[in-house]
Amino acid sequence: MSKGKRIKYFFIVPSIGWVLAFTIFPLLYSASLTLFRVRLGKPARFVGLANFARILSDYKMWNSLRITLVYVAVTVALQVLLGLLIALLFHQEMRGKSIFRALLILPIFCTPVAVGYLGLTVFYEEGGPINSILMSLLGTKIPWLSNPFWAWVAILLLDIWQWTPFCFLVILAGLQSLPEEIYDAAYIDSSSEWEIFRKITFPMVQPVVIIVLLLRLIESFKIFDVVYSLTGGGPGTSTEVYSLFTYRTGLKFFDFGYASVLGYLLLAMVMVVVNIFFRRVREVYE
């Protein structure tokens, strides 16, 4: 690496300027909004910390926060666990492996809104494919979208459908970078697959699992598209996740000040999560 050359600024300053203008400035603007009561068409009124105080008594906000936290915990745990299991299954000699792998990639890039609408056709209660299979096998059907619990499960299933392949893919890449010699030795000492997984494979692939966990946690807090298109937050407000609630507060009810407070609260939560992992992140970009 060379030092003290002018040209490096020519390379990097435009993008720094861009981020300052389009991320830092909106964030600061949003921070100032938290102190005002801003409504469309009316002059902004300074209200101090009143917007923050509103949080305490806003049962709708606590509802959406609870939904989101439970949702994030369950969906990320299941995605990473399933991703790990499928990666272990694929981490063996297998015919057609590269084709299977390519096919498993397809869900990852699917437009989330489109996934929600495909979900609407698949989970359709009267004659949709899932319920008609359930009908012929068990003689019962599930009220996917009209029951709060099942609506939540439907969103969960879609999210798991879309993101387990990502966890699988990354963890498989991690497994494949492990040196094989270790296994040759391990199989002389032990014949228990479980023991080998627990004592050798998992500790070595753990850094990769942690990266996957962090990335999925960050993304899951953002969940919006699938909920918007599949349930619209319903039935009632039973699946109104945090981002959807914030969006509605700001851009349906035009309560900009309070919505900014809600936004900052979400940011704070994500920052707490990132901070838990921060040392690991810094090591990666050393």
Partner 1 sequence: MGVVRKRSKVALIFRYVLVGIILFWALFMIYWGVVTSLKPPAETFTVTGLSVPFIQFRPTLENWRTELSVRESRMSLVNSIVVAIFATLIAVALGIPAGYALARFKFRRVKNRDLTIWYLSQRVLPPVVVVIPFFLIMRTLRLLDTRLALILVNATFVLPFAVVITRQTFQELPVELEEAAAVDGCSEFAAFWRIALPLAAPTIVAVIAICVAFTWNEFLFALSLTSLRAKTFPVYLAGAEDTRGVQFWFMATRAILALGLPVVLAVAIQRYIVRGLTFGAVKG
Does 169 engage in binding with partner 1 (CB under 8 A)?
A: yes
Return the SS3 of 239.
coil
Does 124 engage in binding with partner 1 (CB under 8 A)?
A: yes
Of the residues 73, 77, 111, 276, which one makes contact with partner 1 according to CB under 8 A:
111
65: CB partners within 8 A, 6+ apart:
242
**What's the min distance (Å) between Cβ of 286 and partner 1?**
6
Binding window for partner 1 (CB under 8 A); candidates: 58-66, 73-81, 86-94, 139-147: 86-94
Q: Determine how many CB atoms are found less than 10 A away from the CB of residue 6.
A: 6
Does 74 engage in binding with partner 1 (CB under 8 A)?
A: no
**What's the min distance (Å) between Cβ of 136 and partner 1?**
8
Contact 83, 168 (CB under 8 A): yes
136: CB partners within 8 A, 6+ apart:
none
Cis ω on the peptide bond leading into residue 207 (within 30° of 0)?
A: no
Return the SS3 of 252.
coil
Compare residues 152 and 261 and give the one whose CB is closer to partner 1: 261
E runs forming strands in 67-226: none
Nearest one of 132, 127, 153 to 230, comparing CA atoms: 153
Of the residues 70, 129, 198, 206, which one makes contact with partner 1 according to CB under 8 A:
129
**What's the min distance (Å) between Cβ of 33 and partner 1?**
7
**What's the min distance (Å) between Cβ of 49 and partner 1?**
18
Contact 165, 87 (CB under 8 A): no
Cα 249 to Cα 33: distance, rounded to the nearest angstrom: 14
Nearest one of 238, 281, 242, 280 to 261, comparing CA atoms: 242
**In degrees rounded to 5, what are phi and psi of residue 36?**
-120, 155
**What's the min distance (Å) between Cβ of 191 and partner 1?**
10
**What's the min distance (Å) between Cβ of 76 and partner 1?**
15
Does 192 engage in binding with partner 1 (CB under 8 A)?
A: no
Binding window for partner 1 (CB under 8 A); candidates: 45-53, 139-147, 148-156, 163-171: 163-171
Compare residues 38 and 152 and give the one whose CB is closer to partner 1: 38
Name which of residues 224 to 263 contact partner 1 (CB under 8 A): 224-225, 228-229, 242-243, 246-247, 250-251, 256, 259-260, 263
Does 81 engage in binding with partner 1 (CB under 8 A)?
A: no
Does 59 engage in binding with partner 1 (CB under 8 A)?
A: no
